[in-house]
Structure 1
Amino acid sequence: MSENTKAVVELEPRRARGRPKAEDLAALEARLVRVALETFLAKGYGATSMNEVARAARVSKGTLWARFPTKADLFRAIIDDQIRQTDVRFRLPGPKPKTLEAMLRAFSERALQDSLSEEIIQLNRLIYSEAGRFPELGEAAWMRSHVGVQQVADWIAEYAVKEDVPCRDPDAAARVFTTLLRGFYGDVMLKGRIAAVAEIKAWTQDMLKVFLAGRSHW
């Protein structure tokens, strides 16, 4: 367990009393999600109560529950926030890559580098360790994974037309591709080792060589 996980969650500065203005609600919800993430990582999902999240965020229980009625809703909001951040980070500058291989390489390298950040690793370890007792964690993780699969499937279908390489089942190909990515990620995460950028690039190149070799059968 890392020092970050052992750390006691710091209390947020106390918010001024009174009903928040409409323009402040988005900022409030973002703060609640951030504090919930810090609390879950520090104490574990099962060991954290909604009362503790409200106390750490310096809001009333009613304020928290009005926006997130259950702990599962709060965790799904954390995953939603991750999905939004990933989407923003992956917006490539300039024109799209000319080939499917180049697009998948750019996506793979960025996705692996982002997911190997300390915070994401801690969150995924929490999901792995507690999903058996709390199925909502697995459901939220599946939702995050499904978004990635759909994005890859859309690219596969798009480049099938651009490169005149027919694809019968983009969804199946995308599921295989993302499973390959998760395999590398799981190996790094569970062993607790550091994957250098050069290793990620080399593995991505080898993975794409094997994956794209079967393209005519997709």
Structure 2
Amino acid sequence: MSSSGNTDVATETCPACQDDGAEQRQRGRQKVHDEATLKARVVEIAFSTFQKHSYNGTTMALVAKNTGISKRTLYELFPSKIELFAELAMRHRANLLDIPAGREAETLEEALKALFKVDQSDEKHLQQAAEMRLFYVEAVANEELGVLLRRACGSELHDVVTAWVEEEVAKGRIVTQSSRDTAKYLLDVLIAARLFRPRAPDVITGVSDIRTYLNHTIQLILNGLLPR
């Protein structure tokens, strides 16, 4: 706070110092960028730490140690462990859907593939599945986390997909008796299907890889099971 005050005084008494003020503002923007990068790294490390030790078995000290930062720095970024876990959940939710791509697609099939990121890499599909397994386990084991996850990755995610369904209904590309039921169905078959997806395809003989499976699922959604 004091340095900010000193800068204001210097600017008033010395016009040449205005350049210094601009330089300080530039450094401030860099700091914000660096903080965002650091927060993303902390969340990444926290995820692997939660995976290995569980939520209850993970401490902020352990996350700080694994990230290579001080506990003080960690607490400045995330004031509590549950806020850190909540950030992980929010980032996970954001990675599940691509709303803009789903809106811009020319056909409903393309829109579903884009919205639910069907054609993303194997690595990203596996990462999403690992995150979902972590959340599922922790939601069952911890009531507080269960409430958080049902809100962030349940009801709010459902609201987002419901809004998309309603847009598609308005375009005349979807006919449904209930937008909310349709949104729940899409989440169940195109997101939750990844939860217990085995890493090795031969665990369930004959089941396609995840991208092919999701493409087949979309064809069933669009065309149904009855012969045409």
How far residue 51 of structure 1 moved from its aligned partner, in angstroms, is: 0.9
Equivalence for 2:133: 125
Root mean square deviation of aligned Cα: 3.4
TM-score normalised by length of structure 2: 0.65
Q: Does 1:159 align with 2:168?
A: yes
Going from structure 1 to structure 2, the CA distance change for 1:209 and 1:139 (only over 3 Å counts) comes to: farther
Deviations 1:188-208 (A, max 9, x none): 42x555341323211221134
Equivalence for 1:198: 212
Aligned residue-pair number? 188
Task: Point out the structure with max Rg over C-alpha.
Answer: 2
Going from structure 1 to structure 2, the CA distance change for 1:57 and 1:103 (only over 3 Å counts) comes to: same
Q: Secondary structure at the match of 1:46?
A: helix
Going from structure 1 to structure 2, the CA distance change for 1:203 and 1:165 (only over 3 Å counts) comes to: closer
Going from structure 1 to structure 2, the CA distance change for 1:112 and 1:36 (only over 3 Å counts) comes to: same
How far residue 96 of structure 1 moved from its aligned partner, in angstroms, is: 2.2
Equivalence for 2:145: 137
- Return the structure number with greater helix share: 2
Equivalence for 1:107: 115
How far residue 30 of structure 1 moved from its aligned partner, in angstroms, is: 1.7
Equivalence for 1:172: 181
Alignment partner for residue 105 of structure 2, among 97, 101, 104? Answer: 97
How far residue 73 of structure 1 moved from its aligned partner, in angstroms, is: 0.7
5+ long unaligned stretches in structure 1 = 1-19, 212-218
Alpha-carbon contact 2:109-2:218 (below 8 Å) kept? no
Once residues 186 and 95 of structure 2 are traced to their aligned partners in structure 1, the CA distance between those partners, rounded to angstroms, is 22
How far residue 75 of structure 1 moved from its aligned partner, in angstroms, is: 0.8
Alignment partner for residue 88 of structure 2, among 75, 78, 84? Answer: 78
Determine what percentage of the aligned residue pairs are the same residue.
24
How far residue 77 of structure 1 moved from its aligned partner, in angstroms, is: 0.7
Once residues 183 and 134 of structure 2 are traced to their aligned partners in structure 1, the CA distance between those partners, rounded to angstroms, is 26
Q: Does 1:181 align with 2:190?
A: yes
Deviations 1:57-105 (A, max 9, x none): 2222222122212211111111222233445x56439x82345454234
Going from structure 1 to structure 2, the CA distance change for 1:165 and 1:23 (only over 3 Å counts) comes to: closer
Amino acid at match of 2:129: I
Amino acid at match of 2:93: I
Q: Secondary structure at the match of 2:104?
A: coil
Q: Does 1:148 align with 2:157?
A: yes
TM-score normalised by length of structure 1: 0.68
Deviations 1:80-137 (A, max 9, x none): 22233445x56439x8234545423443462897797332222222222232231243
Indicate the structure whose relative CO is greater, using CA pairs within 8 Å and at least 6 residues apart.
1
5+ long unaligned stretches in structure 2 = 1-29, 202-207
Equivalence for 1:25: 35
